[in-house]
Structure 1
Amino acid sequence: MAANETHYTLPLPRFDRPVKLLIVVSPYYKDIADALVAGAKAVAADCGAEAEVIEVPGALEIPTAIAMAERMAEYDGYVALGCVIRGETTHYDTVCNDSSRAITLLGLQGACIGNGILTVENRHQAEVRAEVAGQNKGGGAAAAALHLIALSHKWSGSRGGMGFRPEGGMSA
């Protein structure tokens, strides 16, 4: 986020029924992860959503945990949180690309996921992005998940077939 720019943020959605979020976090950089979780939990609370937090070892495990929860548990959406700081090897690129790709694929399969995995060059960038009073990327990821949940609620049950509707004439 450039310091001199302003960005529009959608108002948080409202829900008729309780919403359950699973926050999946990698606490590899514990202080940064804690700030991301605090932001996500605050936004969830602002929407009246219930948020559960689980920890996984690293950013690569986040999509796997979300996929398991999507298959085996009852959540409306997910918030992926963690931090990957560039190091001296190409491992950074692998972790960033593969975790992001897996989260995107889960989303394309219908999971409502807000991706708050920070991918940064240094610790200072991570701290600025994680800080609740700053860029609050954890809160932004929770808001993204909540917006996707609102869309899924809006569209659930609205499709009825493959495009053909019998009219008059024939009865089954």
Structure 2
Amino acid sequence: MAGPSHYIMPLPEFDKPVKILIVASPYYKDISDNQIAGAKAEIEKAGATWDIVEVPGALEIPTAIGIAERMSNFDGYVALGCVIRGETTHYDTVCNDSSRAIQLLGLQGLCIGNGILTVENRAQAEVRADPAEMNKGGGAAAAALHLIALARKWGKADKGVGFTRDILMAGDTDSKTTI
């Protein structure tokens, strides 16, 4: 029996180039490959470009995104990985901590589509990763694209980041600088 259907928003359109970093953990290589294929297709469908880096596991994904945000020029990120429940509570730690870290980065303004699968078994992961099935990699890419569109919609070129401080210059009483 199939689950309930859900609405899928049409992809946003962009008037300026969009560059996305896919951060993937190939811990389960076949699952990761499917997630990446789905993400790449969705990004390309929106006319955006992508780059990809691999990290050892799901816990390293948020750290890699944080490093990329500080040291590169990506508009958004797609987090891809898979955590399959095992015999210990390590599953809970990895699921909760990776998700929480990605959420915290998002609350700081990063545009991240979270495609880290958290599943009970391999069969669930395979269906969710398959681009012809649930395509969670593509869904994560679409989420990142939608967040980038929102950031561009609400952002202003002169807005900057941080606090605004008035600076008076000789003969200029209207100068402001953003720091």
Q: Could you say what secondary structure the match of 1:87 adopts?
A: coil
Partner of 1:124: 123
Partner of 1:15: 14
Partner of 2:69: 70
- How many residues matched? 163
Partner of 2:100: 101
Percent of paired sites with the same residue: 71
Partner of 2:109: 110
Runs of 4+ with >3 A deviation: 158-162
Give the stretch that moved more between structures: 41-50 or 150-159: 150-159
Q: Could you say what secondary structure the match of 1:141 adopts?
A: helix
CA distance in 2, matches of 1:130, 1:140: 10
Structure 2 residue identity aligned to 1:61: E
Query: TM-score scaled to structure 1, two decimals?
Result: 0.91
What is the Cα deviation at residue 4 of structure 1? 3.8
Higher relative contact order (CA 8 A, sep 6+): 1
Asked if 1:49 is matched to 2:48, the reply is: yes
Q: Could you say what secondary structure the match of 1:149 adopts?
A: helix
Q: Could you say what secondary structure the match of 1:5 adopts?
A: coil
Q: How does 1:16-35 map to 2 (within 5 A)?
A: 16-35=15-34
CA distance in 2, matches of 1:158, 1:76: 14
CA distance in 2, matches of 1:75, 1:85: 29
What is the Cα deviation at residue 3 of structure 1? 1.5
| Structure 1 alignment gaps of length 5 or more | 163-170
Structure 2 residue identity aligned to 1:151: L
What is the Cα deviation at residue 158 of structure 1? 7.9
Partner of 1:166: none
| Structure 2 alignment gaps of length 5 or more | 165-172, 175-179
CA distance in 1, matches of 2:134, 2:31: 12
Partner of 1:40: 39
What is the Cα deviation at residue 66 of structure 1? 0.1
What is the Cα deviation at residue 88 of structure 1? 0.2
Any idea what the Cα deviations from partners look like across 1:132-152, whole Å, max 9, x if unmatched? 000000000000000000000
What is the Cα deviation at residue 6 of structure 1? 1.2
